[in-house]
């Protein structure tokens, strides 16, 4: 007995299978997971010296709270061949000189960055003030917890409108578990030098 297969029969037999990475996969079986984005270079845009204009709301949870504006310099340098960055902030405003320091660390296992901040007037780095996250849709969003007026809140740090010569940084606070967010801090940065 001789078997013959028409082109239509062959198409029907193989319609339920596809070839992925050289292995047959039948219809309905899950596709292999996409490779995780290696985000080690997601903060490379931040390296350099920047002029910053900051607007900070003094009490973001109080309606009609006053705000202060500061102008200064942000200097960011690579550490550990780009697996970390150190950011130094110096700014002046109506209440005088202010300095801050941020340490950014990349976790290659999680493909995420963390940000820890310390104000020079406080001089301590609190583990509860670390924000963690990653680049999505052209923005870097890091989220964490902090304490404001002795109450634990959520913090969302966002880098957006990222261009070679400028970007925006803002912090949003939530005291209701993330249902609503209020802006507490916004900085517009313009590159001074690489």
pLDDT at residue 1, as a whole number: 46
Domain ranges of the chain: 39-193
Radius of gyration of the chain measured on its C-alpha atoms: 24
The per-residue pLDDT for 14 is 39
Q: How far apart are CA 14 and CA 139, in angstroms?
A: 42
In the chain the first and final C-alpha atoms are separated, in Å, by 77
Q: Parallel, antiparallel, or unpaired for β 151-163 and 166-174? A: antiparallel
The closest of 80, 77, 53, 79 to 67, measured between CA atoms, is 53
CB 136 within 8 A of CB 143: no
pLDDT in 10s for each residue of the chain, 194 residues? 444 444 443 443 334 444 344 444 455 667 666 667 788 999 999 999 999 999 999 999 998 899 999 999 999 999 999 899 999 999 999 989 999 999 999 999 999 999 999 888 877 776 566 899 999 999 999 999 988 888 899 999 999 999 999 999 999 999 999 999 999 999 999 999 87
Look at residue 191 in the predicted model and tell me its pLDDT.
98
pLDDT of residue 183: 96
| CATH superfamily placement of domain 39-193 | Calycin beta-barrel core domain (2.40.128.20)
How far apart (Å, rounded) are the C-alpha atoms in residues 116 and 43?
14
- CA distance linking residue 28 with residue 100, whole number of Å: 53
Nearest CA to 40 among 81, 75, 77? 81
β-pairing, 139-148 with 166-174? Answer: unpaired
């Amino acid at each position: 007995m001789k078997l013959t297969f028409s082109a239509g029969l062959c198409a029907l037999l193989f319609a339920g299978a596809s070839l992925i990475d050289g292995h047959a996969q039948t219809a309905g079986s899950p596709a292999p997971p996409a490779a995780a984005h290696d985000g080690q270079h997601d903060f490379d845009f931040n390296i350099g010296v920047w002029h910053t204009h900051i607007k900070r709301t003094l009490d973001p949870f109080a309606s009609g709270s006053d705000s202060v504006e500061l102008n200064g310099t942000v200097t960011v340098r690579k550490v550990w061949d780009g697996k970390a960055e150190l950011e130094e902030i110096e700014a002046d405003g109506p209440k005088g000189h202010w300095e801050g320091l941020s340490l950014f660390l990349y976790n290659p296992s999680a493909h995420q960055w963390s940000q820890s901040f310390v104000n020079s007037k406080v001089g301590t780095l609190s583990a509860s003030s670390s924000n963690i996250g990653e680049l999505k849709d052209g923005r870097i969003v890091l989220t964490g917890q902090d304490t404001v007026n002795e109450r634990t809140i959520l913090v969302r740090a966002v880098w957006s409108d990222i261009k070679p010569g400028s970007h925006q940084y803002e912090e949003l606070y939530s005291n209701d578990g993330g249902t609503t967010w209020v802006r507490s801090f916004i900085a517009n940065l313009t590159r001074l030098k690489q």
